[in-house]
Structure 1
Amino acid sequence: MRLDGRVAIVTGAGRSLGRAYALALAAAGAAVVVNDVDAASAGAVVEEIRAAGGSATAAVAAVGSTAAAEELVRAAVDEFGRLDILVANAGVLRDRVLWKMSDEEFDLVVETHLRGTFTCARAAASFLREQGEGGRIVLIGSPAGQFGSFGQTNYAAVKAGIVAMARTWSLELARAGITVNAVVPTALSPMTATIPAYAQAWEDHLAGLPVPAELRREKALGTPDDVAPLVVWLASERAAGVTGQAIGIGGDRLTLYAHPQVLDTDHRDGGWSAEEIDAAWADRFAAQAQPSGPPSRREDA
C-alpha cells in the first residue's frame, strides 16, 4: 500500500498510537506533518522518519481551536505543497465517576477530542474540497464510545460523537471524493495503562516483552504498531470506496462495528400509557435489552 506523493497530518503524533500512525504513513511514502503539544516529542518523531529516509515536519500546537487546526493545514501546504490525509488522533484522559468529575475535567476532554476532531476535520475538508482531488479523513474512536465505560463519562461521550461525525461527514463529503472513517483501536498505551487489569501488561511492554497471545486474541490488545496498518489502508487507493465505517483493530483482531439499529418496535393505536409501556417492556422488549460496557470488560468482571 504505497502513499508516495501524498501528504498527511497526524495529530497527537508525539508518542504511542499517534507516533505509530505517523511512522507507518511515512514508511508507505507519505510526507507527514507530526503534530503534538510537546515540541520535543514531535521533533523526535520527525527525526525518526527522516532517519528512515522519509519526509516530515513538526507542528507544535494543542488541538481544539480553529487557529490550531488551520495552522496544521498551513504547515502541510507550506512544507509539502498539498494535503491528502488527516488522522485526527490527539486526545487526553481525565477519568472520574460522574459525581466526582469536575467541569474542567469534562471540558478538557471535550475540547481536545471532540472539538479538536471537528476543527481539524473542518480545516482539512475545506482545503481538500478546494484542492479538488479527493482525500482521506481518519478519525479515532474507542470501544468506550461504542459500549460505554465506567468512570469515563467525558471520554465515552466524545468517542461516540466522533463516530457519529465520521458517519455524517461521509455523507457530506462523498461528492468531493473524500472518505471519512473511524478507527476504533485497542492497544497498550498510557491510556490503557490506567486500566488495572492491563497495568502489568503495559509495564511488560515497556520492558520489551511481547504481548501475551491470550491478550492479543481474546482481548484484542496488542501494540500501537498493530493498529497502524489499518490507518495506512484507509489512506490508500484500495480503500477509496470505504467511507462512513467504524473499524476496530487491536492485537490479532479486526472488527467491523454495526451502525446503531432498531432492535424491535411495537405499535398501539392512540399511543401508549405508562402502564401499557410497562407491560410491553416485560412481555416483548426486556429480553432484548443490551448490557452496557465492552464485552471484554464484562468478561473480566
Structure 2
Amino acid sequence: MLAASIKGKSVIVTGASKGIGKGIARVFARHGGKVLVVGRDLQAAETSAKELTDAGFTAAAFAADVTKLDDMEAMARAAHDRHGGVDILCANAGMFPPAKMEEMTPEQWDEVQATNLKGTFLSVKACIPYLKKSGEGRVVITSSITGPVTGFPGWTHYGASKAGQLGFMRTACIELAKYGITVNAVMPGNVVTEGLKELGDDYMQSMAASVPLKKLGDVEDIGHAALFFASREAGYITGQTIVVDGGQILPESLDALAQA
C-alpha cells in the first residue's frame, strides 16, 4: 500500500505554508511521512507545521527562499538533521501574479522565472546529495496545465515557467536515474486555493463550468497524485506527468460539455 511505503520517509515540501503545498504536506504527513514545511515566512510555515503536529503527525517548519541556493542547502541540511535525511522532495513553491504582456515589466517576468523555474532547479540541486543516500529518492514537481497544455491571458510568464519545469524534469530524471532517484511532475488544473479565491467568485464559477466533473479540485487531490509518484510502487516511473484537472483540458469548447 502507498501508505506503507511513505511511512517514516523524510519529506520536504516547498511552498507548504498555504495552497497546494499545504495540501501536499497534509497528505504526506497523514500517510506517515516526516514533513519539513518550507516557506518564505517562518510564522506561516510554523502555523502549518503546528496544524500537522497537533493532529498527531510528524512535521517541522523551516523558512527559506527557493531562489537562493544557500537557503536550499540549509533546508536540505535541516531535513537531514531533524528527520534523518531527505527521501522525497516536493518542489512545489510557485507564484502567479497576473500581468498582460503589454504592461509586464522585465522585473515581473524575472521574478516569476526565479521562483517557479530557478527555484525548482535549486531545490533539487541542494537535495541531490541526500536523495542519493536514500536509495529510493523521489522528486515530485508541481507544474500546471497552464503553459504545457493550455494558456490564459496574463500568465505568459507563469506558463513559460511551468512548461520550463517539464523540460527540466525530462533531463534531470536521466541524470539522476543512476542513483535510483525518480523525477516526475503533477500538473494541476484549477484547484481551490487562497490564490484562486483572490481571482473572484465569477472566475471560480466560470472555471468550474469548464470542468467535466463540474467542480474545482481540492489541494489534497494534488497531494494524492504526488504521493503516488513518491511511493515505492511508482519506483519504475520517471520523467512522467499526471494531469489532475477533472477533465478540464479535454472538451473542445463549452458546447461540448453542453451536449454531453
Fold shared by both chains (TM-score > 0.5): yes
In the aligned structure 2, how far is the partner of 1:48 from the partner of 1:297? 42
In the aligned structure 2, how far is the partner of 1:118 from the partner of 1:141? 13
In the aligned structure 1, how far is the partner of 2:202 from the partner of 2:251? 12
Q: What are the equivalent positions in structure 2 for 1:283-298 lying under 5 Å apart?
A: none
Query: Radius of gyration: which is bigger?
Result: 1
Structure with greater contact order relative to length (CA < 8 Å, sep ≥ 6): 2
Deviations 1:3-29 (A, max 9, x none): 112001000000111000001001111
The TM-score normalised by the length of structure 1 is 0.76
State the 1:219 CA deviation.
Answer: 6.1
1:247 match? 242
In structure 2, the CA distance between the partners of 1:44 and 1:297, relative to structure 1 (3 Å rule), is farther
Please say if residues 9 and 34 of structure 1, whose CA atoms lie closer than 8 Å, have aligned partners that are also in contact: yes
Answer yes or no: is 1:144 the counterpart of 2:146: yes
Structure 1 stretches of at least 4 aligned residues deviating more than 6 Å after TM superposition: none
Answer yes or no: is 1:115 the counterpart of 2:118: yes
State the 1:242 CA deviation.
Answer: 1.0
Please say if residues 94 and 106 of structure 1, whose CA atoms lie closer than 8 Å, have aligned partners that are also in contact: no
State the 1:168 CA deviation.
Answer: 1.1
In the aligned structure 2, how far is the partner of 1:231 from the partner of 1:10? 11
In the aligned structure 2, how far is the partner of 1:191 from the partner of 1:299? 25
In the aligned structure 2, how far is the partner of 1:297 from the partner of 1:151? 22
Gaps in structure 2 of 5+ consecutive residues? 256-260
Amino acid across the alignment from 1:189: T
SS at match of 1:122: helix
Deviations 1:152-210 (A, max 9, x none): 111011000001111111111111110100100121223434556753549xxxxxxxx
In the aligned structure 1, how far is the partner of 2:204 from the partner of 2:181? 41
1:190 match? 194
1:76 match? 79
* Greater alpha carbon shift after TM alignment, 132-141 vs 4-13: 132-141
In the aligned structure 1, how far is the partner of 2:44 from the partner of 2:96? 18
1:134 match? 136
In the aligned structure 2, how far is the partner of 1:236 from the partner of 1:170? 16
Q: Give percent identity, aligned residues only.
A: 33
Q: What are the equivalent positions in structure 2 for 1:83-94 lying under 5 Å apart?
A: 83-94=86-97
Deviations 1:73-110 (A, max 9, x none): 01101111111000011111222111210122111101
Deviations 1:234-276 (A, max 9, x none): 11111111110111113x45x9xxxxxxxxxxxxxxxxxxxxx
State the 1:134 CA deviation.
Answer: 2.8
In the aligned structure 2, how far is the partner of 1:132 from the partner of 1:63? 22
Please say if residues 76 and 83 of structure 1, whose CA atoms lie closer than 8 Å, have aligned partners that are also in contact: yes
In structure 2, the CA distance between the partners of 1:110 and 1:93, relative to structure 1 (3 Å rule), is same
RMSD: 2.5
Amino acid across the alignment from 2:243: G
Answer yes or no: is 1:170 the counterpart of 2:165: no
SS at match of 2:194: coil
In structure 2, the CA distance between the partners of 1:158 and 1:296, relative to structure 1 (3 Å rule), is farther
SS at match of 1:143: coil
